Amino acid sequence: MTQNRRSFLQATLLAALSTQVAPELLGAAASASSVRPRRLVPGATVGLVSPASATWLTEELDILQDTIRALGLKPKLGKHVLDRYGYLGGTDADRAADLNTMFGDDSVDAILCIRGGWGCNRLLPLLDYPQIAAHPKILLGYSDITSLLTAIYAKTGLITFHGPVGTSTWNPYSLDYVRRVLFNAEAVTLTNPAVIGKGLVVTEDRIRTITPGVASGVLVGGNLTVLTAMLGSPYLPDWSGKLLFLEDTNENIYRVDRMLTQLKLAGVLDKVAGVIFGKCTKCLPGEGQGSLTLEEVLNDHLRSLKVPAWQGAMIGHIENKFTVPVGVRAEIDATRGSIRLLEPAVR
C-alpha cells in the first residue's frame, strides 16, 4: 500500500469515527483549535430559545421579533419558548430539545437566548455536542447563558458569544459591537467609552488597573456565579494560558470573595494569563457587619497572580455591553483596559 493511499484511508477512518465519538472525548479533540461560525448576513434566520428562566409575557416575544426584523434578520421561535416549569422556561428535556433542534436545523443561522436567570447548567448533559460540532453557528447571550457558551466551547471548540440576550436593551453602543463582531467579522478592539460629561474628566465607566501589563491568550469567561457552579464538571475548558473575563450582579461582596477563593482553590486563577473583571452590578456589603470593599477583594485575589488584570470593562448586567467571543485569541492591556481580538470570531 502506498504512503498516499495509507494516509487517505487513515483520514477517511478518522472522519467516520468523529461522527460517533463520545461527547466527553469530543472536547479534547476540539480544544486544539477554535471553530468559527458563519457571520450574520441580511436575511439570515435567528432561532430564539429560552434555555433558562421562563418568558412570561407574549409582548416580550413580540418586541424581540420586531427587533430581529429591524436588524434585517428573520426570527424563528423555538417550540417551547413560552413553556413554564416553575421558574424555568419548561422542563429540562424540552429546553434542551429546543437548543438541539436549532443547532440541527440548517435553515437557522444563529441562536439568540431570550433571557438568562437560572437553568442552563441543568441542560449540559442533555445537549447533543456531536450535532453542535457538525452544525456550527452563532450562539449569543450572557448571565446564566455563560453555562452554554462555556460548555459548548469546551466540548466542541465552537466560538460562542457573550453579549446581549433577547430582552437586553439593543442600544447603539451594544448594537455597534454586535454588528462589528457578528456581521462584519472585524477583529475589534473592545474599550470602554471615554465620554466627558459635565465635569472635566471621564467619571463613568472608568477602568481601574489592578496589575499593569499586556498578555495574549484565548478569551474564556462570563458570569462568576455560573462558572463557579460548574467547577468539578466536565464542561469547562483547560484554563492554561486563558484570558479570564468575569462579571456578576446582586451578589454581596463576601460572596464575590468566596467565589474568587473557590476559583483560586480549584487552581483556575493560577493558570490564567490575565483577568478582566467587568461590572459587578448591585454588589453590596452584607447587612449587620463590616465588609471589605469590592476593590479590596479584587486586589487580594488578583494582584498575587502577577498577571495583567483590571476592573470595570463593559461586560455584565449593564445596558452598554461588549460582545465578547469565547474561544478567540486576543491581547489585553490592563493599563489601557483594552481587549484586542487577534482574529475575526466569525467567517
- 199/334 same-domain check: yes
| From 34, 50, 53, 143, the catalytic residue | 143
Q: Largest Cα–Cα distance of the chain, in whole Å?
A: 79
The residue out of 183, 199, 224 marking a domain boundary is: 183
Specify which residues 160 forms β-bridges with.
326
- Clarify whether residues 249 and 146 are in a common domain: no
- Take residue 200 and report the three cell numbers written for it: 472635566
Last residue of a domain, one of 183, 212, 238: 183
Catalytic residue among 247, 251, 301, 338: 247
295 is catalytic: no
Question: Based on the domain organization, do 60 and 160 belong to the same domain?
Answer: yes
Q: Are residues 193 and 101 in the same domain?
A: no
Q: Does residue 34 lie in a domain region? A: no
Same domain, 136 and 252: no
* CA-derived radius of gyration, the chain: 20
Return the CATH number at 98: 3.40.50.10740
Question: Would you say residue 124 lies in a domain?
Answer: yes
Asked, for residue 211, whether it belongs to a domain, the answer is yes
Q: What's the domain count of the chain?
A: 2
Q: Look up the CATH number of the domain holding residue 200.
A: 3.50.30.60
Query: Does the pLDDT value for residue 8 go beyond 50?
Result: no
**In whole angstroms, what is the distance from residue 147 CA to residue 137 CA?**
17
106 with 222, same domain?
no
Q: Answer yes or no: is 270 within a domain.
A: yes
Q: Is 301 a catalytic residue?
A: no
Residue 55 lies in a domain: yes
237 & 309 share domain:
yes
Q: What is the pLDDT of residues 197-209, one digit of tens each?
A: 888 999 999 999 9
Shared domain check, 50 and 128: yes
Q: Are residues 217 and 172 in the same domain?
A: no
Q: Which amino acid is at 117?
A: G
| Residue 25, C-beta contacts closer than 8 angstroms, at least 6 positions apart | none
Across the chain, mean pLDDT equals 92
Give the structural domain span for 90: 45-183
Whether residue 342 is predicted with pLDDT greater than 70 in this model: the reply is yes
pTM summary value: 0.91
Q: Which of 160, 183, 206 is at the close of a domain?
A: 183
Burial (Cβ within 10 Å: 0-12, 13-18, ≥19) of residue 1: exposed
Q: Are residues 204 and 332 in the same domain?
A: yes
Write out pLDDT tens, residues 256-281.
999 999 999 999 999 999 999 999 99
Q: Please, what sign has the CA dihedral across residues 185, 175, 242, 193?
A: positive
Instruction: Point out the catalytic residue in the list 80, 162, 301, 317.
Output: 317
247 labelled catalytic: yes
Q: Which amino acid is at 253?
A: I
Whether the pLDDT of residue 2 is over 50: the answer is no
147: pLDDT strictly greater than 60: yes
pLDDT confidence band for 20 (50 / 70 / 90): very low
Please indicate, yes or no, whether residues 200 and 334 belong to a single structural domain of this protein. Answer: yes
Q: Report yes or no on 242 lying in a domain.
A: yes
In a domain, 305, yes or no: yes
The closest of 314, 307, 323, 310 to 241, measured between CA atoms, is 307
* Domain annotation covers residue 14: no
Residues 163 and 251 in one domain: no
pLDDT of 9 above 60: no
